Chains A and B, each alone.
Chain A
Amino acid sequence: MPVIGVENVQSAGAPSACTVGKQGNMSSEPGNCQNHQDHDPDHGDAGPAKQTMPMPVPNLEVQYTKIFIDNEWHESCSGRKMPVHNPATGDLLCEVEEADTEDVDKAVQSARAAFQLGSPWRCMDASDRGLLLNRLADLVERDRLRLATLEALDSGKIFLMAYFVDLMATVKTLRYYGGWADKIQGKTIPVDGEYFTYTRHEPIGVCGQIIPWNFPVMMFAWKVAPALCCGNTVIIKPAEQTPLTALHMACLIKEAGFPPGVVNVLPGYGPTAGSAIAHHMDIDKIAFTGSTAVGKLIQKAAGDSNLKRVTLELGGKNPNIVFADCDLEYAVEQAHSGLFFNQGQCCLAGSRVFVEDSIYEEFVCRSAEKARNKVLGNPLVPGVDQGPQIDQKQFDKILELIESGKKEGATLECGGGPWNRNSLFIQPTVFSNVTDDMRIAREEIFGPVQQIMRFRSVNEVIQRANATHYGLAAGVFTNDIDKALTVSSALQAGMVWVNCYNAMSTQCPFGGFKMSGNGRELGEYALQEYTEVKAVTIKISQKNS
Chain B
Amino acid sequence: MLRIVLSRTLPRISGISNCQYSAAAIPVPSAQPEVHYNKLFINNEWQDAVSKRSFPTINPATGEVICQVAEADKADVDKAVKAAREAFRFGSPWRRMDASDRGLLLSRLADAIERDTAYLAELETLDNGKPYAVSYSVDVPMVVKCLRYYAGWADKWEGKTIPIDGDFFCYTRHEPIGVCGQIIPWNFPLLMQAWKLGPALATGNTVVMKVAEQTPLTALYVASLIKEVGFPPGVVNILPGMGPSAGSAIASHMDVDKVAFTGSTEVGHLIQQASGSSNLKKVTLELGGKSPNIIMSDANMAEAVEQSHFALFFNQGQCCCAGSRTYVQDTIYDEFMERSVARAKSRVVGDPFNMKTEQGPQVDEEQFKKILGYISSGKREGAKLMCGGGVAADRGYFIQPTIFGDVQDGMTIAREEIFGPVMQILKFKTLEEVVERANDTKYGLAAAVFTKDIDKAHYISSGLRAGTVWINCYDVFGAQAPFGGYKYSGNGRELGEYGLDNYTEVKTVTIKVPQKNS
Name the residue of chain B whose CB is nearest to the CB of A542.
B459
Contact B463–A178 (Cβ < 8 Å): no
Name the residue of chain B whose CB is nearest to the CB of A127.
B145
* Complex Cα spacing A134 to B100, Å: 13
**Contact flags B505-518 to A (C-beta < 8 A → 1, else 0):** 00000010111110
- The number of chain A residues with a CB under 8 A from chain B is 32
**Contact flags B168-194 to A (C-beta < 8 A → 1, else 0):** 010000000000000000000000000
* Complex Cα spacing A481 to B512, Å: 9
The residue from B100, B148, B149 contacting A507, defined by CB atoms under 8 A apart: B100
Of B32-40, B151-159, B308-316, B444-452, the one touching chain A? B151-159
Interface centre among B8, B462, B517 (most CB of A within 10 A): B462
The residue from B148, B154, B169 contacting A127, defined by CB atoms under 8 A apart: B148
List, in ascending order, chain B residues with CB within 8 A of A541's CB: 455, 458-459
List, in ascending order, chain A residues with CB within 8 A of B149's CB: 127, 182-183
Q: B104: CB under 8 A from chain A? A: yes
Q: B357: CB under 8 A from chain A? A: no
Minimum Cβ distance to chain A for residue B117 (Å): 15
List, in ascending order, chain A residues with CB within 8 A of B516's CB: 489
Q: B137: CB under 8 A from chain A? A: no
Contact A482–B514 (Cβ < 8 Å): yes
List, in ascending order, chain A residues with CB within 8 A of B156's CB: 176, 179-180, 183, 507, 524
Secondary structure call for the B interface:
helix
Q: In which size bucket is the chain B interface? A: 20 to 34
Q: B107: CB under 8 A from chain A? A: yes
8 Å CB contacts to A: which residues of B120-165?
Answer: 145, 148-149, 151-156, 158
Q: A52: CB under 8 A from chain B? A: no
Q: A127-B145, A127-B148, A179-B153 are in contact. Are A486 and B459 (CB under 8 A)?
A: no
Q: B355: CB under 8 A from chain A? A: no
* Complex Cα spacing A542 to B458, Å: 9
8 Å CB contacts to A: which residues of B455-480?
Answer: 455, 458-459, 462-463, 479-480
8 Å CB contacts to B: which residues of A505-522?
Answer: 506-507
Q: B103: CB under 8 A from chain A? A: yes
Minimum Cβ distance to chain B for residue A181 (Å): 8
* Complex Cα spacing A183 to B513, Å: 35
Q: B497: CB under 8 A from chain A? A: yes
The residue from B100, B145, B462, B511 contacting A175, defined by CB atoms under 8 A apart: B100
* Complex Cα spacing A485 to B497, Å: 32
Contact B169–A485 (Cβ < 8 Å): yes
Minimum Cβ distance to chain A for residue B156 (Å): 6
Contact A175–B104 (Cβ < 8 Å): yes
Contact A481–B148 (Cβ < 8 Å): no
* Complex Cα spacing A523 to B462, Å: 35
26 contacts between A and B (CB under 8 A): A126-B480, A127-B479, A134-B148, A172-B100, A179-B151, A179-B152, A179-B153, A179-B154, A179-B155, A180-B156, A182-B149, A183-B153, A183-B156, A183-B480, A183-B497, A482-B514, A485-B169, A486-B513, A506-B155, A507-B156, A524-B156, A524-B158, A538-B458, A540-B459, A542-B459, A543-B462
Q: 12 more A-B contacts (CB under 8 A) besides A131-B148, A544-B462?
A: A127-B148, A176-B100, A179-B151, A180-B152, A183-B149, A183-B152, A485-B514, A506-B100, A507-B155, A507-B156, A524-B158, A541-B455
A-contacting residues of B (Cβ < 8 Å)?
8, 99-100, 103-104, 107, 145, 148-149, 151-156, 158, 169, 454-455, 458-459, 462-463, 479-480, 497, 511, 513-517
B-contacting residues of A (Cβ < 8 Å)?
125-127, 130-131, 134, 172, 175-176, 178-183, 185, 196, 481-482, 485-486, 489-490, 506-507, 524, 538, 540-544
